[in-house]
A and B are shown apart, each in its own frame.
Chain A
Amino acid sequence: MANREERLAAIRRAFPEGSGVVELAGGDMQTLRVDRQALPALARHLKDDPALDFKLLLDVCGVDYPGREERFEVVYHLTSLEHGHRVRLKVPVRENDPVVPSVYGVWRAADWFEREAFDMFGIRFEGHPNLKRILCHPAFQGHPLRKDYDPGQRWLLREGEQEEPAWAKEAQEDEDHFETQVLNLGPSHPATHGTLRTVVRLNGEVITKAETEIGYLHRCFEKMAETHTWNQVIPYTDRLNYCSAMMNGVGYALAVEKMLGVEAPPRAQVIRLILSELSRVMDHIVDVGANLNDVGAMTPFLYMYQGREELYSVLEACCGSRLTMSYVRIGGLSSDTPPDFEDSVRYLLKRIPKLIGDMETLITENRIFRGRTEGVGAISAEDAVDWGWTGPCLRATGVAYDVRKAHPYLGYETYDFKVPVAHAGDTYARYLVRVEEMKQSLRIVEQALERLQPGPIITDNHNVALPPKEDVYTEMESLIWHFKLIMEGMKVPVGESYGYTEAANGELGYYIVSDGGGHPYRIKVRPPCFAIFQAFPHILEGHMVADTVAIMSSLNIIAGELDR
């Protein structure tokens, strides 16, 4: 891994001082301020220079600073899978000319992220092939994440005003002069498992063109986060990927803790890790089960669901809620685990492998299942990286990138586990990777149980966490801390940070900006399935229409984090 100076030198070879690229001091990662004219060439250079090798574009987002002369800032996060290093680019633009060159030509991953920044802030990306709203509906007026947009201002969408792809309205004939058909799947469709919509053009049963429409579950997470205190954001994070709520909260808390410079006590860290890994198992159960269900195998889902109910009971015993846990607090956890926690987790460690075994016996060598999934929805490793894929879907193409190994957090570097990889990149490979990941997660949980020692579960830094109730009743100082935290909320130092963890679907990133107040100034979530799903219509082309459901559920698209 080249260090900061070496990377800067590699950039300076093509962009000497005065060419519109300035390195900003400090920060949680190397940050470059880039003039928009320099952006396209810089993007190319960052990607193609072997010393830099920024092949994976993780995120593009806007931030609004109304007081500044250059009101908007477009922020890019990049990483190199080869070297493991990261960089952040910031391109400022003025309100009266909010135009930035698109980097879609360099990284296709920019496709939907740039559309989102356009939708939310009105920043136009010159050269983008299809720049239109993505999350808000077509009758929406204004750009909701601008600071002067009232969070409660709604716009009604009437029947008949919905978005239709332009090509879907035209009649078209194939080479034999037969009419081709346009078919609409979703947003309310049994196989979309949520609110996704795909429009396809069919020639016979073969898909010749496809387009997806998302945003049907855009419930304004990022705007809501700006109107709540730092801890109040946690329940909202639970509802991003609601199949594994715990991991979203952990990712958020780690990102904020990094800015605050506090750490959760060891016991809290281990519990976070155990519950995160159990959540990963739960998430994979639902995804694999739904995938099997969609290709016609109901039984394994019913088997696996028993295990899931038992997992739920453990979570419920910890925090009182089965699904949307809100168990994490910044600096630790809301409460300690119940006394029988370890026993119930040990029971799960015995029980779940049995269920996984049952499912594997039924499915892994099943001819029908393999026939429906092998070679279906395949993507190459280069394409997957180009589209910004991470997580099990990327690992199914042969790229062994896992944040837990590449940039460990919660002490993952001290656990013995493997990162499963498959090479075909198809639906079957994704199934295999997920099944193996469940087993590895259980291995991690087993080791973590050994390390679970009694101790505090939340930090004693009272700028962050409430003092114990007994002290509030008896000590003046604690009472003051309590009062200040309740009335003003916690304050996070001015600055920005990008926190990232390996969630069930891939890299879950939180880009957080604080202005030092009691509310986050801006939170941008980098949802793993957003990047994955933008490649979906391109994968579909050439497949049979029945393959759409098999491919879609193998990508594990969760509308909550997709649309936020």
Chain B
Amino acid sequence: MGNPEVRPSLPVVGGTGTAGAVAKQPDGSRVFLTTKLEKLLDAARKNSLWPLPFGTACCAIEFMSFMMSHYDISRFGAEVVRFSPRQSDLLIVAGTVTDKMAPVMVRIYEQMAEPKYVISMGVCACTGGFYRAYHVVQGIDEFIPVDVYVPGCPPTPEALLQGVVKLQEMISNGETRYQRALAAKRASQAQAGG
């Protein structure tokens, strides 16, 4: 019955060895596994990120290459680009953000539903880059929290791919801003309750 191996990307928890995690059919084949709902959701989230490209400048051109046939982000399950913040969970800020643009970016970020992640693509988005100037935001983390910074001016499409993979790892390990905030909240609740 099917592939007896458990797909490694599905996080299996509980019990020791296979006993607690994977149940066996009477004929010996393993058919289901137990996990926490949250872990399962994380696995789903990680493998189907829906990016919203907030492309403002030159980096957006490399973002296009990252989407297109040659580099092809769909290999990593994140090709469903949505321009509506309500339909996406990954904000990729690609390019310089100016003071005039910052309120727009914040508004879009706030319109996205949790859990949401942010990748800052390029040195401009990360730090302002070589525009130390009167109209340029010196890093988008002045305004919104960032999960992954991808350096480069512009980063190569490979670098951005790596940024997405890095974010996927972080989701598996519970390291994103959303997950950490959630864990902290639970801990404080447990403390208050206990």
Contacts and interface: CB of A to CB of B under 8 A. Distances in A.
Interface of A: 135-137, 140, 144, 149-159, 161-162, 187-190, 193-195, 215-220, 223-224, 235-236, 239, 242-243, 286, 301-302, 305-306, 309, 312, 322-324, 559-560
B62 A322 contact: yes
Contacts of A194: 55-57, 60
B104 interface: yes
B154 interface: yes
A220 B68 CA distance: 31
Contact of B131 (A150, A224, A242): A224
A136 B107 contact: no
Given A188-B104, A220-B135, A302-B69, A239 B58 contact: yes
A153 to B, nearest CB: 5
Nearest to B129: A219
Contact of B56 (A135, A153, A195, A309): A195
A187 B131 contact: no
Contacts of A242: 57-58, 61
A136 B133 contact: no
A219 B98 contact: yes
Contacts of B54: 188
A188 B60 CA distance: 12
B106 A220 contact: no
27 contacts: A136-B100, A136-B135, A140-B135, A154-B99, A157-B99, A158-B103, A159-B103, A159-B106, A188-B54, A215-B98, A216-B100, A218-B98, A218-B100, A218-B135, A219-B57, A219-B98, A219-B135, A220-B136, A236-B130, A242-B58, A242-B61, A305-B64, A309-B70, A322-B65, A323-B58, A323-B61, A323-B62
A181 to B, nearest CB: 20
Contacts of B154: 323-324
B153 interface: yes
A137 B99 contact: yes
A283 B95 CA distance: 19
Contacts of B107: 159
Interface string B16-47: 00000000000000000000000000000000
B78 interface: no
B108 interface: yes
Contacts of B98: 137, 215-219
B100 A215 contact: yes
A560 B61 CA distance: 11
A400 to B, nearest CB: 30
A224 B156 contact: no
| Most chain B CB within a 10 A radius of its CB, from A156, A188, A242 | A188
B99 A155 contact: yes
Contacts of A224: 130-133
B120 to A, nearest CB: 16
Given A154-B135, A187-B104, A220-B134, 4 more contacts: A159-B107, A188-B104, A188-B108, A323-B154
B102 interface: yes
B83 interface: yes
A241 to B, nearest CB: 10
A361 B125 CA distance: 40
B176 interface: no
A223 B134 contact: yes
B101 interface: yes
Contact of B133 (A217, A220, A301, A559): A220
Interface residues of chain A: helix, strand, loop or mixed (majority): loop
Contacts of B156: 322
A190 B124 CA distance: 21
A341 to B, nearest CB: 21
A302 B154 CA distance: 21
| Most chain A CB within a 10 A radius of its CB, from B68, B83, B108 | B68
Nearest to A215: B100
Interface in B141-175: 153-154, 156
Contacts of A149: 134
Nearest to A142: B134
B136 A219 contact: yes
Contacts of B103: 157-159, 161-162
Nearest to B54: A188
Contacts of B99: 137, 140, 154-157
Contact of A157 (B68, B102, B153): B102
A306 B69 contact: yes
Contact of B68 (A187, A235, A305): A305
Leading 9 A-B pairs by shortest Cβ distance: A220-B133, A242-B58, A137-B100, A190-B83, A219-B131, A305-B68, A159-B103, A216-B101, A309-B70
B101 A217 contact: yes
A559 B56 contact: yes
Nearest to A301: B68
A559 to B, nearest CB: 7
Contacts of A286: 61, 64
Nearest to A312: B65
Contact of A309 (B57, B65, B108, B133): B65
Nearest to A309: B70
B185 to A, nearest CB: 26
Nearest to B101: A216
B133 A151 contact: yes
Nearest to B110: A159
B88 interface: no
A230 B50 CA distance: 43
Nearest to B142: A156
Contacts of A151: 132-134
A154 B101 CA distance: 13
A259 B190 CA distance: 72
B127 interface: no
A218 B97 CA distance: 9
A137 B102 CA distance: 11
Contacts of B64: 286, 305
Contacts of B65: 305, 309, 312, 322
A247 to B, nearest CB: 14
B110 to A, nearest CB: 10
B168 to A, nearest CB: 25
A490 to B, nearest CB: 20
Contacts of B95: 217
Contacts of A219: 57, 96, 98, 124, 131, 133, 135-136
Contact of A187 (B60, B62, B101): B101
B135 A305 contact: no
Nearest to B82: A190
B101 to A, nearest CB: 5
Nearest to B62: A323
Interface in B109-124: 124
A149 B133 CA distance: 11
Nearest to B70: A309
Nearest to A214: B100
B79 to A, nearest CB: 13
A559 B95 CA distance: 11
